[in-house]
Amino acid sequence: MPPKKNPLKLNSLQLKTLTLLQELARHPELATPVPDSDELLLSQIPHPHGDHFHIGARVVAASDATGLHNQAVWVALERKGMIKGSFPYALRLTRDGQTYETGLAEQILHGGDH
């Protein structure tokens, strides 16, 4: 039987935010492995400039990133085991958070051409 899509029932904002955190975690200059753990420390949460921001070569619309600076989203993702947060400064993306299939990467992460 195929795995259930969105088994934790994350809402749209939580899914978008987790997708962005997963992309941040793919960049060694933005994600630091936590010793004796399979978690990644993210302490450079980007802020949009104008209507977008960049993660490596990817471009993200600011409207898709409102959860990055929303304490309620961090609390929900922490409650579901996706992160361990110290809002608004840093968070640890757990192994579950790194591997959760959000299904949104193709929709909100765009190839950078500027």
Q: How many CB atoms lie within 10 A of CB 108?
A: 19
pLDDT score at 8: 97
pLDDT score at 49: 84
- Residues of the chain short of pLDDT 70, as ranges, are 1-3, 112-114
What is the model's pTM? Answer: 0.93
| CATH architecture of the region 12-102 | Orthogonal Bundle (1.10)
> For residues 78 and 73, what is the distance between their CA atoms, to the nearest angstrom?
8
pLDDT score at 47: 86
Query: Nearest 5 degrees, angle CA 65-CA 84-CA 32?
Result: 80
